[in-house]
Amino acid sequence: MAVPGRKVAVVGMGGAFPTCTGLEDFTNKLFTGQSMIREWPLAVKYGKQMRSTMCGYITEAEMGLEPVFNPISDEYPETYIDLQNRIPDLNLATADMGSIWAMLGALESIEMAGWKQEETQSEQTAVVVGSGGAGHVILRVAWHGFFKEGRKTRSAGSHTVDRAMVYRDAANVSCLIKNKGVCEAIGSACATGLGNIGYAYRLIKFGLQDRAIAGGVEGTSLETFIGFDGMQVLSKGFTPETSSRPFDVNRNGFVCAFGGGIVALEEYEMAKARGAKIYGVIDEYFNNSDGDGNMFAPSFAGQKRLWKGLRDGATIKPDVVKVHGTGTPVGDIIELLCVIDELGESGYHISAPKSQFGHMLGAAGSVEFIAALQMLEHQKVSPCINSDNLNNEPENFQKTEGWDGPVKPVSEYRHLIPQHTVEKEINQIVCLNYGFGGTNSAIAVSRDV
């Protein structure tokens, strides 16, 4: 149960963003409508084996890292060298790429928060960081060496387990900052990033912790990309910059992307007392399941219940709704119509950041939460680029018997979906993210006033 009077503030943030040198560069590209998606040479290399080749990827060099390869394989990074000396070698030895991004994001968040060592290493400081997939890059080479090449187990090195375990991101951050409170990794597919932040929010709101490092990461992995490409759910047929097209009538899938978003959360009165800059105050977090037994299809009813749960815990009147907006044919419109059914046809704007940097899977919710914090900070709504043409006809599901949502075509809501950055007063933003298995997450964050 929530402890009366306890609020949760966001006091720091950091992460890894495709094509960006850091948070400032990410923010600039966000509001200038730039795409962070490129053609991925690693995908192109496999020719007709791959259906899609567009990706929001990040290389080691772009993060200031140099891979050190296993002597028996030029594909297996046994460890990394941090060329900027941010992370000790001991911590790098137990980390895959995503875990390194999580550690870097944690360090950036702590610095921005102004936490001292006694606060970071306190029993009242939690780490809640997860990812959407396993340590594929680590596992692929380890298992290939054993099963296909007949090598001894020691050829995989001594860190295959800790570099690939589900809990690796949280564990590496915890070992780096040496917190003594809760350390958890929550996995909920593409709702992972927001879900970890939401869980950390509850830890503080319920009085179990005073601070938390929270978020999600998804390390660059061709294995992950292959899986979604095989499902034929990735965008194809467009240039890299125009390949992610939420709400556009010609959208045909999402753009797979990789990155990380980490935030520092703190009990509000503690943050105020020490003079911390507060980037946002979390009003409420709610999550649920569709409950319809469908692994993949979005649920209008499930999303409606998500909004109800959010409203039950706080006053919800957003100036911006940061949508999941992947670019998939059905998912986008179900989500949009649910928002309209809840909020009406005016008085707010829709932000769809995936149009600029793609779908970061386990990192999506946390990176997009950081994008929402930047909207609050700069009083600007990021655009939904590539939403050039909206359907002038109702969707087929809008014509079916039993549909109880809005019946107008999407083109009637052009005014809600800006193609360019909008400057306006923004006091509250609702962030939405969904994942396979019917899991839904929503968080409302407001300016500190």
**Which of 150, 396, 370, 186 has its CA nearest to residue 260?**
370
Give the pLDDT confidence of 212-246 residue by residue, as tens digits.
999 999 999 999 999 999 999 999 999 999 999 99
Output phi, psi for 134, to 5 deg: -80, 180
What is the model's pLDDT at position 72? 67
DSSP lists the bridge partners of residue 266 as 9, 211
Of the candidates 175, 190, 384, 431, the residue annotated as catalytic is 190
Quick one: residue 325, left, alpha or beta (phi over 0 = left, psi -120 to 50 = alpha)? left
Is 324 part of the annotated catalytic residue set?
Answer: yes
Angle at 356 between CA 425 and CA 331, to 5 degrees: 90
Instruction: Please determine, for residue 84, whether its predicted confidence score (pLDDT) is greater than 90.
Output: yes
Give the pLDDT confidence of 9-28 residue by residue, as tens digits.
999 999 999 999 999 999 99
Of the candidates 20, 175, 183, 324, the residue annotated as catalytic is 324
Is 338 part of the annotated catalytic residue set?
Answer: no
Output phi, psi for 237, to 5 deg: 90, 5
Burial 70-107 (b: 16+ CB within 10 A, else e): beebeebbbbbebeeebbeeebbbbbbbbbbbbbbbbb
**Which of 104, 110, 26 has its CA nearest to residue 65?**
104
Q: Which residues contact 148 (CB under 8 A, 6 or more apart)?
A: none
What is the model's pLDDT at position 447? 98
Distance between CA atoms of residues 171 and 386, nearest Å: 39
Of the candidates 20, 55, 349, 359, the residue annotated as catalytic is 359
Give the pLDDT confidence of 313-335 residue by residue, as tens digits.
999 999 999 999 999 998 999 99
Distance between CA atoms of residues 443 and 263, nearest Å: 14
Give the pLDDT confidence of 383-392 residue by residue, as tens digits.
999 999 999 9
pLDDT greater at residue 152 or residue 287? 287
Would you state the structure tokens that stand for residue 162, as one six-digit string?
Answer: 């800790």
Q: CA distances (Å), 45 to each of 37, 39, 237, in order? A: 17, 11, 18
Give the pLDDT confidence of 426-435 residue by residue, as tens digits.
999 999 999 9
- Look up the CATH number of domain 8-400+410-446: 3.40.47.10
The mean pLDDT value for 255-280 works out to 98
Is 359 part of the annotated catalytic residue set?
Answer: yes
Q: Domain map of the chain by residue range?
A: 8-400+410-446
What does DSSP assign to residue 330?
T
Q: Would the pTM of this model clear 0.85, i.e. be above it?
A: yes
Would you state the structure tokens that stand for residue 183, as one six-digit string?
Answer: 């350390």
pLDDT greater at residue 393 or residue 153? 393
Burial 343-381 (b: 16+ CB within 10 A, else e): beeeebbbbbbbbbbbbbbbbbbbbbbbbbbbbbeeebb
